[in-house]
Structures are given as structure tokens and as C-alpha cells.
Amino acid sequence: LRPFRRPAPPGARAPALEWYSAVVRVEYVDPQSNLTVRSVPESGRFGDSSPKEDMRGPVGVPRADPKGCAPDTSFYAPGGLGAARWVALVARGGCTFKDKVLAAARRNASAVVVYNEERYGNLTAAMSHAGSGNVVVIMISYPKGQEILDLVHKGIPVVMTIEIGMRHMQEFISGQSVVFVAIAFITMMIISLAWLIFYYIQRFLYTGSQFGSQNHRKETKKVIGQLPLHTVKHGEKGVDVDAENCAVCIENFKVKDVIRILPCKHIFHRICIDPWLLDHRTCPMCKLDVIKALGYWGEPEDIQELPTPEAAPGSVSSGNLSVTSQDEDRNGESNLPSPSTSESRPACPASFKEDAGEDTALLGAVRSDPQHGGPIC
């Protein structure tokens, strides 16, 4: 069965979808040694319209034109062409392959062997010769054709054997298909490259924003850490543990709770207000911008951690201020020896007065002792 072929337009050459190779052997008798010489098998190619079958017979060549294009071309062979089946050997060129085959078929040739031009060397090519009948047509290389032709010109009879070789499939890709595939490939490469660039740009921007957000929270946390802390104790003035509550968690302040004092004098649990300030930077009650209230007006990246000043001897920081109950104060005073009336009570350190004065309204840290008539630090 032959494969289906689309009809070609008139005058056009239809490409073959398959082709067969041919195995060519020649043998002759050496006149000097009187021995039969058999050549190494040579590869040829069947014509597109040639029957694929074996053939054997003596080789005949044209008498005048080696290309055998004339309709009345005659052939000769040493020892004559009396055999029923003989092979015509002609050169490529001068006319179409069909003309060569028909000219040899008029002389009863059973096969036509076309040897290629010298410029193609050992190569063979496809041959289109539709309408040439049942003549076996093959092409062989130029060197092999010249070798056989020289033997015939020397008067040495040559017998050629043609056998069917291998079946080959040939796929044809049009120029438009190649261009389309190339454009599609280049387009896909450009799209892939653009997607990769976009992906890495987005990843770089996301990483940068995450890094900036972490720096923002880190610097803001440093500023929040400078706000004063206080531990709630029994009977503390300014903090009513039974009435006042944290505006964030809506729970009353309890003894030993650690509270944070904002610049607006509002107080909250430290564990409640610190996360709030990291996200909002404002007081939950009066909306005061705590960061700006502390004197930081620039961007969070410009905030630097300020060193905490060391407390002078005898001074107490407001962040660590502790106020004991009145009962504890009286007990402590009763255990101390009574000073002489002529001695004056030592004054509170100036630094303590300044620090404690900031929280007087809230905590009542500085108060008067009714027994001694002086301030108690």
C-alpha cells in the first residue's frame, strides 16, 4: 500500500513522503587474470514512480550522448544486448528523468540507472518520472557510474544486480511552518522572561517592605520603652484599685499590676498598651500621638535609642517609683529613733522632687506627713 498523497498542481513537483534505497552490485571478468571480479555493494536510490523490485542484467550505455535524452538513442554493450532483461546506464542532466526512461524503454531496457553529476560526489537525489511505465529506475553516485562506464568503454561486459534496500520516511516542513514555530518559541521565551522579571521585582519589593516594617516596629518599640512604668501597691493614692480600670482590657487594676504611664497621664496595663502603641502610636482614650509627644517628629527610621541617664545618689526614677501604704510608713517611722527637736529633717533630693512632681496628679507620690510637719520622700 502506498501512502495517500495530495495531488500537486500542474507543473509542480510533489514531494515524496517515502523512498527506498537500492543495493547495487556489479561483476565482470578481468581480461588479464580471467577471474570474476565482484564489487563492494553500493547504495543507490529508487525513483519516486519506479517499481520496487529486484533486477539483474548486462549494462548498456548510449552510443552518442551519454545522457540519453534523444528519443532515438541507441545503446550498446560489449557482447551485445541479446538478453531479455538489460540495464541502461545514463548520465544525469540534459533532459527530464522521464525522457531518459522513455528513450531507454523504446530499446526494451528493463531498468535505467542514472548516475549523478560530478559536483554532487557520492550523493544521490530523488527522481520524479511519473508516466514512464514499469521500468525500474534508480540513481547511483557519480564515481560508481564512471567506474562502470569506463569498464564498458574498455569492452568489458558488466553485469549489474539491483536489490531493494531499506524503506525511508521523509517529513517535509514548509517555510511558513518553520517561521510560525520560531515566532511562537520566541514569544513564549519573552513571556517567560517578563514573568520572571515581574516575579522577582515583586519579591524584592515585598522583602523591602517587610524589612522596613520590622525596622519601624523595632524603633517604635524603643521609644515606647522610655515611657515610665509603675507597680500598683496597697493603699496607693492616685490609683483606686477598686474603681479604676484599664481602657484596653476593661479590667480593674490590681495590686502588683505593672502599668504604663503615658504623657497624657492616662494609665494602662503594660501588656495591654504596648502592643496597641506599636500598631497605633496613640492613646486609646484621648488619641494623643505618644511618639510625637515624646519629641520624635521624624520618620520611625530616624528614631534612635537614647541612653537612659544614670540616677544620682539619693534620687529615685519615676519609672521605678514605689509608694507604700500609710500603715507601712507609720510602722517604719515608729522603729526609728526620735530625732532631737533642734535637728531639722533632711530635705528630699532635688532630683526626686522633679521626677515625682510629674506624677503627683496621678499617684500622689509626694505628700505631707502630719506627725512631722514635713514632706516625706
Residue 111 has pLDDT above 50, yes or no: yes
Whether residue 129 is contained in a domain is answered as yes
Same domain, yes or no: 122 and 252: no
How far apart are the C-alpha atoms of 369 and 333, rounded to whole Å? Answer: 11
Give the chain's domain count: 2
Contact 25, 161 (CB under 8 A): yes
Q: Please tell me which residue, 205 or 329, carries the higher pLDDT value.
A: 205
**CA dihedral of 198, 204, 210, 213, whole degrees rounded to 10:** -100
The fraction of the chain above a pLDDT of 70, given in percent, is 68
Residue 376's pLDDT band, with cuts at 50, 70 and 90, is very low
Here the CATH number for the domain that contains residue 138 is: 3.50.30.30
- Residue 309: per-residue pLDDT: 38
How far apart are the C-alpha atoms of 32 and 134, rounded to whole Å? Answer: 38
- Residue 46: per-residue pLDDT: 95
- The alpha helices in the chain, defined as continuous H runs, are 97-105, 142-153, 175-224, 270-280, 290-293, 326-334, 350-358, 360-363
Please count the CA atoms within 13 angstroms of the CA of 369 that sit on its side-chain side.
15
Burial of 179 (0-12, 13-18, 19+ CB in 10 A): exposed
Residue 59's pLDDT band, with cuts at 50, 70 and 90, is very high
Same domain, yes or no: 160 and 178: no
User: pLDDT tens-digit profile of 68-92?
Assistant: 999 999 999 998 887 788 999 999 9
Same domain, yes or no: 189 and 291: yes
Last residue of some domain: 307, 324, 357?
A: 307
Same domain, yes or no: 165 and 179: no
Which distant-in-sequence residues (6+ apart) come within 8 Å of 163 by Cβ? Answer: 22, 23, 25, 54
Beta strand pairing call for 55-62 and 87-91: parallel
Residue 174's pLDDT band, with cuts at 50, 70 and 90, is low
Range of the domain at 233: 173-307
User: pLDDT tens-digit profile of 180-215?
Assistant: 889 999 999 999 999 999 998 988 887 766 555 666
Whether residue 48 is contained in a domain is answered as yes
Whether residue 226 is contained in a domain is answered as yes
Comparing 99-103, 144-148, 162-166, 356-360, which segment has the lowest mean pLDDT? Answer: 356-360
Same domain, yes or no: 71 and 129: yes
Same domain, yes or no: 225 and 184: yes
- The pTM of the full predicted model, rounded to 2 decimals, is 0.45
Residue 326 has pLDDT above 80, yes or no: no
Same domain, yes or no: 161 and 76: yes
Same domain, yes or no: 282 and 140: no
Here the CATH number for the domain that contains residue 235 is: 3.30.40.10
Contact 27, 39 (CB under 8 A): yes
Whether residue 247 is contained in a domain is answered as yes
Same domain, yes or no: 24 and 60: yes
Same domain, yes or no: 136 and 244: no
CB atoms within 10 A of CB 103: 25
User: pLDDT tens-digit profile of 122-169?
Assistant: 999 999 999 888 999 999 999 999 999 999 999 999 999 999 999 888
Same domain, yes or no: 149 and 180: no
Same domain, yes or no: 147 and 52: yes
- Residue 293: per-residue pLDDT: 82
Q: Please tell me which residue, 51 or 213, carries the higher pLDDT value.
A: 51
Whether residue 187 is contained in a domain is answered as yes
Whether residue 120 is contained in a domain is answered as yes
Beta strand pairing call for 18-29 and 42-46: antiparallel
Last residue of some domain: 284, 307, 330?
A: 307
Whether residue 356 is contained in a domain is answered as no
How far apart are the C-alpha atoms of 22 and 47, rounded to whole Å? Answer: 10
